[in-house]
């Protein structure tokens, strides 16, 4: 990795080449994974929804500070993306799940199993934090893959299987303390992600070294008042975005009843990209970063263009970044 931060122009060029896009408003830029060191966000996967799209990784975001990697969600391809980003499995000590939709959790078996076998920087100890059901999910993983693990333990040269510390986190409308270690303080609040999702969370990380605060919205419908309160005055808000203009395009490909159910879920449980700048303005957020692009694959610049128009209309002057997979955002 380069020890010198990329210039504003070169970082922007690299970001656009990677599929990301940026609305200038400060010196904070997005760049590919190898272009930054120090405290940073690594956008491992920013493609939302359960459908697999070629060349796009599912939701997984890494906050890197103090040599530790804190994961928020663990969708398909998280393990490969960690390798591509140059982040070791040994640096991953905590994973925070926003909710139990499979596009946010299906990479968990890969992370544990293949992270364990990647000596000499293997996964060794992992705290897993998430809504009720987290501990059951982790226990089921051990049961499902127990035989496979035993065969490698017997015949293999691999380290001891990782210690998995699952925590079922109960969060209400008020801001709830989740965990603290030598590098971060993590708080959470409940957000709305449709009536069928009883527990969907947003997380706030306070970095002890710098005092900066980074908030991850998870999946939610903007504007969510609990999220705005959690993000008030924060340095970076990572927020899901949806292009509502494309909802009919996907819903109309399904049988009528199924299509209407999907249309209703998408419109009531996700955030139209044009509504998200107002969330950032209400919370006084300095930098807004997009993630979880839905409902169909499109260039990040499409979302950025719509957000810019909305931001100009309401007078939001912060920086807006629409990154692609593996883009890095220095903190």
Phi, psi of 119 (to 5 degrees): -70, 150
Question: Token pair for residue 159?
Answer: 């380290």
Q: In terms of pLDDT, which residue wins out, 37 or 203?
A: 203
Which DSSP helix (H) or strand (E) runs through 143? Answer: helix 134-155
Q: How confident is the model at residue 25 (pLDDT cuts 50, 70, 90)?
A: very low
Residue with tokens 């950025």: 304
Of 89, 84, 45, 44, nearest to 69 by C-alpha is 89
In sequence order, the 6+-apart residues with CB closer than 8 A to the CB of 230 are: 175, 187, 188, 189, 202, 204, 215
Single pTM value for the model: 0.90
Asked whether residue 311 carries a pLDDT value surpassing 80, the answer given is yes
Residue with tokens 């956008």: 43
Instruction: Tell me the β-bridge partners of 160.
Output: none
pLDDT in tens, 123-182: 999 999 999 999 999 999 989 998 998 888 887 778 889 999 999 999 987 899 999 999
CA 11 from chain centre, in angstroms, equals 21
CA 52 from chain centre, in angstroms, equals 17
pLDDT in tens, 156-165: 778 889 999 9
pLDDT in tens, 39-80: 999 999 999 999 999 999 999 999 999 999 999 999 999 999
Instruction: Tell me the β-bridge partners of 69.
Output: 64, 92
pLDDT in tens, 229-280: 999 999 999 999 999 999 998 999 999 999 999 999 999 999 999 999 999 9
- Looking at residues 24-38, what average pLDDT do you find? 51
Q: How far apart are CA 87 and CA 68, in angstroms?
A: 9
Q: Look at residue 30 in the predicted model and tell me its pLDDT.
A: 57
Q: How far apart are CA 110 and CA 97, in angstroms?
A: 15
Task: Please name each of the domains of the chain with its CATH number.
Answer: 8-330 (3.60.15.10)
Q: Look at residue 32 in the predicted model and tell me its pLDDT.
A: 52
Burial-class residue 318 by CB neighbours within 10 Å (0-12, 13-18, 19+): buried
Q: Rounded mean pLDDT of the chain?
A: 90
Of 285, 96, 101, nearest to 188 by C-alpha is 96
Question: Token pair for residue 185?
Answer: 């303080």
pLDDT in tens, 186-202: 999 999 999 999 999 99
């Amino acid at each position: 990795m380069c020890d010198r931060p990329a210039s504003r122009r070169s970082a922007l060029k690299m970001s656009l080449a990677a599929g990301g896009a940026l609305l200038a408003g400060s010196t904070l830029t997005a760049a590919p994974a190898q272009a930054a060191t120090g405290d940073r966000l690594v956008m491992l996967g920013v493609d939302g929804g359960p459908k697999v799209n070629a060349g796009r990784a599912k939701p997984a975001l890494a906050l890197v500070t103090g040599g530790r990697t804190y994961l928020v969600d663990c969708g398909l391809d998280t393990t490969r993306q960690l390798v591509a980003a140059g982040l070791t499995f040994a640096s991953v000590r905590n994973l925070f799940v926003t909710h139990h939709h499979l596009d946010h959790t299906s990479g968990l078996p890969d992370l544990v199993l293949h992270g364990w076998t990647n000596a000499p920087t293997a996964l060794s100890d992992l705290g897993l934090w998430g809504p009720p059901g987290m501990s059951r999910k982790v226990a089921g993983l051990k049961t499902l893959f127990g035989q496979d693990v035993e065969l490698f333990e017997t015949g293999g040269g691999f380290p001891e299987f990782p210690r998995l510390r699952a925590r079922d986190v109960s969060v209400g409308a008020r801001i709830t303390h989740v965990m603290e270690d030598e590098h971060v303080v993590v708080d959470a609040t409940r957000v709305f992600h449709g009536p069928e999702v009883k527990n969907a969370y947003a997380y706030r990380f306070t970095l002890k070294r710098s005092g900066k605060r980074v908030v991850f919205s998870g999946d939610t419908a903007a504007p969510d008042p609990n999220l705005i309160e959690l993000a008030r005055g924060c340095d970076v808000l990572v927020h899901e975005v949806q292009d509502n203009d494309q909802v009919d395009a996907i819903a109309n490909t399904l049988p009528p009843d199924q299509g209407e159910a999907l249309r209703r879920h998408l419109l009531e449980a996700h955030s139209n990209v044009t509504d998200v700048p107002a969330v950032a303005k209400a919370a006084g957020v300095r930098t807004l970063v997009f993630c979880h692009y839905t409902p169909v694959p499109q260039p990040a610049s499409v979302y950025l263009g719509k957000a810019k128009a909305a931001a100009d209309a309401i007078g939001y002057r912060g920086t807006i970044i629409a990154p692609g997979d593996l883009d890095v955002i220095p903190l």
